[in-house]
């Protein structure tokens, strides 16, 4: 294109015409290039490379991605910094908040789901609008009771739906099922995750490593769960032997605290994002 | 033609129109006649004017404002002082919602619902930029503008050294992009533009820490340095056009005074949008005093370089009141 020479005839007029034509063609190439580049962002979304756990109260994924304005105000209000923003490898999900429960779970130590309050666009909401209902299996059977404020006049969290569900993904890793206890820091001395312990401080979350445990039988997932009746330790008979195993109940919100505290390198219990309750 | 319509037409990509002989005011005709027929040497006058020029007067002020606003976001988050929370796409100033007009538009088109908070936040921002001049956002707030204008210095240097040449695009392509990005948001249901917007990316990087997305911003800057001057801001960014519309009726603008102009063209060399300054070409201005069009980012570079004070910031109506 740039090698074209003006034709003989009227050189000045030709050159001007040629420059205008080049400019026009160049602009079309620019348009196609920018549109092409901006379409690439669809690939990670369409192929769902990472199924992200969204903050509490998030709309269903397509609605969430379209309504999030990518400002990070939810990130700023979280007292345990559980919420992070995605990078450009997530395509259209760039700048959209997510929670990596294993690194830092949402333990509801803000008491009021402040991320929802901070959201300016209604991508995170207390009540899903009627025209944008979530799947029925995401709906909670009853308002979730936050153990930390169980004795207050209003003990519930203002949430109607779960964001995921805890699942005992690797039962063979579970210390309780092996009859083992647990002593020490739940995730070792280098783990930076934080949690609120009511007996330590009502409002200030502390690093998990500053709160060592000494347990006859490991029940970390059960004792750290912030929601009433979401998980319990049950006796079951497997292969003729009675063992203890954690059992997740319908009250589970998918907050991910159990996944964060689970001591093995690969957690026995994990939260599956966007998974609903099924019997 | 109505000056507002003309300003919008030029902003959308039309070439600036030469005024018809009948449109020239008597006063302008007199000044043009005087300039044409005076054979005196202006050099002494020009040199004297340069002596009194304030170097980088508006540049210093603008960079101070731009950096302060962006750092206020960072400081608010890092030290938890809660003055300005969020990022440039949406934020809260002491609790008041402020939402970027273009981001809000993309979200509403993708989501297909009007959210009350979004409406309130855009309302405040709309009024704010209506008062302050629309594209004032670009040069006084946008962090990408800051990076790009510094990259631009390098580009201009390289062009002067004849190492590279500048490649212009048709300015109308920005209007096409505006429509395409809006259409893509509506059709796909994703805020497509937000995923490549360097304004959002740089703003978030400053607040929440750098990421891979800055690689995209770097590519854009390299493109602007080595291929096309200020390409993103001039030919692509729909944020600029959105705020440009807000600025059409804004009282804050740069004003041109024909009598003071020596027609040296320094202002057009530094301008991000030189098509708004066509009127400074000798013989073009149809009246003695002209307001520069809405595509102007009110950056004040032209005011800084003008040695004879032909360009200045003005707030319409203020003079009448005062």
Q: How would you label B294-310 residue by residue, b for 16+ Cβ within 10 Å and e otherwise?
A: bbbbbbbbbbbbbbbeb
Given a cut of 70, the residues of chain B with pLDDT beneath it are 1, 39-42, 319-322
What was the pLDDT predicted at A130?
Answer: 84
Segment A108-122, tens digit of pLDDT = 999 889 999 999 999
A132 contacts in chain B (CB < 8 Å) = 113
Coil vs helix vs strand at A20? helix
Q: CA–CA separation, B50 vs B33, rounded Å?
A: 25
Segment A6-46, tens digit of pLDDT = 455 677 788 888 888 999 999 999 999 999 999 999 988 88
What was the pLDDT predicted at B40?
Answer: 65
Query: Tokens representing B87?
Result: 């990022």
Domain ranges of chain A: 1-40, 44-273
Do residues A242 and A236 make contact, with C-beta atoms less than 8 angstroms apart?
A: yes
- pTM for the whole thing? 0.91
**Closest to B170 (Cα-Cα) out of A112, A20, A194:** A20
Q: What is the mean pLDDT of residues A245-268?
A: 96
Q: CA–CA separation, B202 vs B217, rounded Å?
A: 8
What was the pLDDT predicted at B51?
Answer: 78
Mutation target for A interface from B111, B168, B181, B203: give the one with most A CBs within 10 A.
B111
Write phi, then psi, for B169 (nearest 5 degrees).
-115, 170
Q: CA–CA separation, A5 vs A8, rounded Å?
A: 9
Distance of CA A186 to the CA centre of its chain: 21
Write phi, then psi, for A44 (nearest 5 degrees).
-60, -35
- Would the CB atoms of B97 and A73 count as touching at under 8 Å? no
What was the pLDDT predicted at B82?
Answer: 82
- Output B208-213 pairs: Cβ under 8 A, ≥24 positions apart: B208/A72, B208/A75, B208/A85, B208/B77, B208/B87, B211/A87, B211/A88, B212/A87, B212/A88, B212/A89, B213/A87, B213/A88, B213/A94, B213/A95
Answer whether residue A133 shows pLDDT above 80. yes
Restricting to B residues 238-297, those with a Cβ less than 8 Å away from any Cβ of A are none
Instruction: Decide if B105 touches A, using CB distance below 8 A.
Output: no
Answer whether residue A2 shows pLDDT above 50. no
B111 contacts in chain A (CB < 8 Å) = 63, 66-67, 121
The residue of chain A with its CA nearest to that of B193 is A38
Distance of CA A219 to the CA centre of its chain: 24
Distance set, CA A3 to CA A268, B199, B302, B308 (Å): 65, 36, 35, 42
What was the pLDDT predicted at A1?
Answer: 44
Domain ranges of chain B: 3-12+19-57+251-321, 59-245
Sorted by sequence, the CB contacts under 8 Å of residue B153 that are 6+ apart come out as: none
What was the pLDDT predicted at A209?
Answer: 95
Interface contacts A/B by beta carbons within 8 Å? 152
Answer whether residue A173 shows pLDDT above 90. yes
The continuous run of DSSP H or E covering B60 comes out as helix B57-78
Segment A119-132, tens digit of pLDDT = 999 999 998 888 88
- Would the CB atoms of A87 and B236 count as touching at under 8 Å? no
The ipTM estimated for the assembled molecules is 0.88
Sorted by sequence, the CB contacts under 8 Å of residue A278 that are 6+ apart come out as: A137
Q: CA–CA separation, B156 vs B143, rounded Å?
A: 20
- Would the CB atoms of B211 and A88 count as touching at under 8 Å? yes
CA atoms within 13 A on the CB side of A43: 7
Distance of CA A218 to the CA centre of its chain: 26
Q: Give chain A's length.
A: 279
Q: A86 exposed, middle or buried (CB, 10 Å; 0-12, 13-18, 19+)? A: buried
Instruction: Decide if A67 touches B, using CB distance below 8 A.
Output: yes
Distance set, CA B70 to CA B49, B65, B87 (Å): 36, 9, 9
Instruction: Decide if A27 touches B, using CB distance below 8 A.
Output: yes
B208 contacts in chain A (CB < 8 Å) = 72, 75, 85
Q: How many CB atoms lie within 10 A of CB B225?
A: 21
Given the structure tokens 């995401």, which residue do they identify?
Answer: A138
Instruction: Decide if A37 touches B, using CB distance below 8 A.
Output: yes
Mean pLDDT estimate for chain A: 91
Distance set, CA A93 to CA A42, A60, A82, B8, B321 (Å): 9, 14, 18, 34, 50
Bridge partners of residue B291, in order along the sequence: B255
Instruction: Decide if B161 touches A, using CB distance below 8 A.
Output: no
What was the pLDDT predicted at A108?
Answer: 94
Coil vs helix vs strand at B145? helix
Compute the CA torsion angle A150, A151, A152, A157 (nearest 10 deg).
10
% residues pLDDT > 70 (chain A): 97
- Would the CB atoms of A87 and B191 count as touching at under 8 Å? no
Distance set, CA A256 to CA A51, A156, A164, A167, A198 (Å): 15, 18, 9, 10, 18
Q: CA–CA separation, B193 vs B214, rounded Å?
A: 16
Angle B297-B299-B304 from CA coordinates, rounded to 5°:
140
* Closest CB to A75 among B169, B208, B216: B208
What was the pLDDT predicted at B43?
Answer: 73
């Amino acid at each position: 294109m740039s090698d074209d020479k003006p034709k003989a005839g009227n050189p000045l007029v030709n050159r001007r015409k040629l420059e205008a034509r080049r400019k026009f063609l160049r602009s079309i190439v620019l348009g196609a290039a920018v549109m092409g580049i901006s379409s690439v962002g669809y690939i990670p979304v369409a192929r769902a490379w990472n199924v992200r756990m969204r903050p509490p109260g998030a709309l269903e994924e397509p609605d969430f991605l379209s309504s999030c304005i990518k400002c990070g105000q939810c990130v700023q209000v979280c007292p345990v910094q559980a919420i992070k923003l995605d990078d450009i490898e997530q395509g259209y999900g760039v700048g959209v908040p997510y929670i990596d429960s294993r690194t830092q779970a949402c333990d509801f130590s803000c008491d009021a789901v402040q991320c929802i309050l901070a959201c300016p666009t209604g991508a995170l909401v207390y009540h899903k609008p009627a025209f944008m209902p979530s799947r029925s299996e995401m709906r909670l059977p009853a308002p979730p009771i936050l153990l930390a404020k169980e004795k207050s006049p209003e003990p519930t969290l203002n949430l109607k739906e779960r964001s995921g569900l805890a699942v005992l993904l690797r039962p063979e890793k579970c210390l309780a099922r092996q009859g083992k206890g647990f002593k020490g820091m739940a995730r070792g001395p280098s783990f930076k995750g934080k949690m609120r312990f009511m007996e330590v401080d009502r409002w200030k979350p502390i690093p998990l490593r500053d709160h060592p445990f000494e347990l006859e039988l490991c029940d970390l997932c059960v004792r750290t769960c912030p929601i009433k009746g979401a998980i319990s330790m049950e006796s079951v008979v497997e292969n003729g032997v009675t063992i203890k195993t954690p059992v997740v109940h319908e009250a589970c919100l998918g907050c991910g605290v159990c996944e964060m505290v689970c001591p093995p390198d690969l957690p026995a219990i994990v939260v599956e994002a966007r998974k609903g309750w099924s019997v | 033609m109505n000056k507002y319509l003309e300003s919008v037409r030029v902003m959308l990509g039309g070439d600036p129109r030469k005024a018809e002989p009948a449109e020239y005011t008597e006063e302008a005709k007199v000044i043009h006649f005087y300039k044409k027929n005076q054979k005196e040497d202006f050099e002494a006058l020009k040199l004297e004017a340069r002596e009194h020029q304030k170097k980088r007067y508006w540049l210093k002020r603008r960079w101070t404002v731009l950096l302060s606003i962006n750092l206020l976001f960072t400081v608010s988050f890092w030290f938890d002082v809660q003055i300005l929370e969020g990022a440039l796409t949406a934020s809260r100033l002491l609790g008041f919602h402020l939402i970027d007009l273009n981001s809000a538009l993309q979200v509403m088109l993708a989501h297909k619902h009007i959210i009350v908070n979004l409406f309130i936040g855009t309302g405040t921002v709309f009024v704010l930029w209506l008062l302050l001049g629309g594209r004032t956002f670009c040069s006084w707030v946008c962090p990408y503008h800051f990076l790009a204008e510094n990259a631009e210095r390098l580009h201009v240097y390289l062009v002067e050294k004849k190492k590279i040449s500048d490649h212009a695009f048709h300015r109308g392509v920005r209007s096409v992009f505006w429509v395409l990005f809006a259409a893509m948001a509506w059709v796909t249901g994703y805020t497509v533009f937000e995923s490549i917007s360097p304004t959002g990316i740089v703003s978030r990087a400053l607040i929440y820490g750098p990421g891979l997305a800055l690689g995209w911003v770097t590519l854009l800057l390299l493109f602007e340095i080595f291929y096309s001057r200020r390409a993103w801001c001039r030919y692509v960014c729909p944020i600029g056009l959105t705020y440009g519309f807000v600025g059409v009726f804004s009282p804050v603008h740069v004003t041109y005074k024909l009598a003071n102009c020596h027609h040296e063209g320094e202002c057009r060399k530094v301008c991000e949008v030189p098509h708004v300054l066509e009127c400074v070409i000798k013989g073009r201005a149809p009246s003695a005093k002209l307001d520069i069009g809405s595509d102007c980012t009110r950056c004040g570079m032209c005011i800084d370089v003008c040695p004879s004070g032909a360009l200045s910031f003005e707030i319409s109506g203020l003079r009448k009141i005062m």
